Amino acid sequence: MIVPANRLALLENGTQYFPALLAAIDSAEAEVRLESYLYEADGIGLAVAEALMRAAARGVRVYLLLDGFGANGFSRELAERLSAAGVAWCHYRPEHGLLRLRRHRLRRLHRKLVAVDGRVAFVGGINIIADDNAPGHPSHRYDYAVRVEGPLVHEIHAAMRRLWWLVEWSRSGRRVSMGSAFPVPAAAGTQAAELLLRDNWRHRRRIEEAYFKAIRDAKHEIVIANAYFLPGWRFRHALAEAAQRGVRVVLLLQGRIEYRIQHYATLALYRFFLERGVEIYEYRSSFLHAKVAVVDRSWATVGSSNIDPFSLVLAREANIAVHDRAFASDLHARIFAALRAGANQVHRLPWRLLPWHRRALAWLGYGVVRALAGLVGYAREFGGVDGDVPGGMKNR
C-alpha cells in the first residue's frame, strides 16, 4: 500500500548511514529495534553496540535480531555485554549443523531494518559492518539506505514487532508479548512510499511483482544497480521486452569477484541481455552491495533484496518503493555518478574468442546456481538462457 506524507532521506554508504543511525539510537526514549543479516564486532559494530547499551541504560527497550547464518560468528564477548546491559537479542534460525544441506536452511533473515520510538526508521541494504571491512579491498562498499519519518514508519515497526514475536514464540514454544505498539506518526513530509516485504507466507512475491509492474509501466528508462543479479526467466524477459519497445535499460553489476559462483553465473546471462539492447556496466571501484533501481526518474526502490533466486524466493527481505520524482532523480544521479567514476561498460565479442576457462567457469557457475534453484523449487522459473551460450564480453 502506498503511504503518503513521509519525509525520506537517501543515505549513501556507511559514511552517511552510520552517523544517522547512531544519532537516532542516542535520541531514543522508549524503544529501539534493529535487524541485520551481518553484524561484525569491528569499529562500527562496537559503536552501534555501545549506542544500544547506552539506550538500554536509559530505560529504553532494545531488541536486536540477527540472522543465524550471516551473523553465526557474532562475538560471544559482545553478546554477553549486550545481554548484561539489558539488550534483548537473538538469532533468526540459528545454525547448528553446517554440513547439512536442507531447503529451510536457505530461508535467511536478509533484511536490514531499524525502528526507533515508532517515529523514525531505516530501510536499506547496509549491514552492521564497517565500509572498509571487505576482503582484500579497503575502500567503501557501494550501498544505500533510506531514513524514514512519517506514517510509513508504523508499517516498518509493525513488521519488526511481528517477526520478533514469531522468533520468540518458536524459541520458547509459549505465548510471548509482541512488545509495545506506537500510534501512527503524523505527516512529516510530502513523499509517498510503500514497504515491500518478502517472506514465505503472505508476501512471497511482493518485491518481484513490484519490479514487474515498474518495468511494464516504464516509458523511457530502467536503471538497476544490483550486487547479485541472477533473474529468473520472467524477469529477464520483462527487461528484454522493455528494451525492445525502446526503453533504455541499464544494469550496473558487480565487477569485482566476491563470490565466485554468483559472479560467473551472472556472466552466463550477459549475451542474452546484450543481444537485446540492454546496457551492462561492471562496477570495479569497490565492492558493489547496492540493491536499488530507478524507473523513469519517478519510481525508485532501495532495500535488501538482490535479484536472484535466494532473495526473491527464500529470504526475508525488505525494500522501500518510493513514488517521488525528487527522490528518484537523486538516486538516479548518484547511480550514474558511481557508474561514470568506477564502472566499465561491457561489450559483446564472439563467444569463441573468449578464453576457454572463462566459458567453462560461466557455464559451471550457472549450472551450480540452477541446480540450487532446483533444490528450492525455483528451477522452472529460473530456466535456461533460451538456448544461448553465455555471451562474450570485453571491458572498455
Query: Hey, which residues are catalytic here?
Result: 110, 112, 117, 289, 291, 296
Query: Grid cell 524477469 — which residue?
Result: 235
Distance separating alpha carbons of residues 170 and 190, to the nearest angstrom: 40
| Residue type, position 183, single letter | P
What backbone torsions phi and psi does residue 96 show, to the nearest 5 degrees?
A: -120, -30
Q: How far is CA 257 from CA 8, 33, 307, in A?
A: 33, 33, 17
Q: How far is CA 39 from CA 13, 47, 91, 126, in A?
A: 16, 12, 11, 10
Buried b (16+ CB within 10 A) or exposed e, 194-215: bbbbbbeeebeebbbebbeebb
Query: Grid cell 552510520 — which residue?
Result: 18
Q: How far is CA 137 from CA 125, 131, 151, 286, in A?
A: 19, 10, 40, 7
| Residue type, position 144, single letter | Y
H helices of 36-88, in order, are 43-57, 76-85
Residues across the chain: 396
Do residues 82 and 53 lie in contact, with contact meaning Cβ atoms separated by under 8 Å? yes
Distance separating alpha carbons of residues 298 and 221, to the nearest angstrom: 10
Tell me how far the alpha carbon of residue 110 is from its chain's centroid. 7
Pull the grid cell for residue 216: 511494464
Query: Grid cell 519519518 — which residue?
Result: 149
Distance separating alpha carbons of residues 357 and 360, to the nearest angstrom: 5
If one counts every other C-beta atom within 10 angstroms of the C-beta of residue 127, the result is: 25
Do residues 92 and 167 lie in contact, with contact meaning Cβ atoms separated by under 8 Å? yes
Provide the 8-state DSSP code for 392. Answer: P
| Residue type, position 186, single letter | A
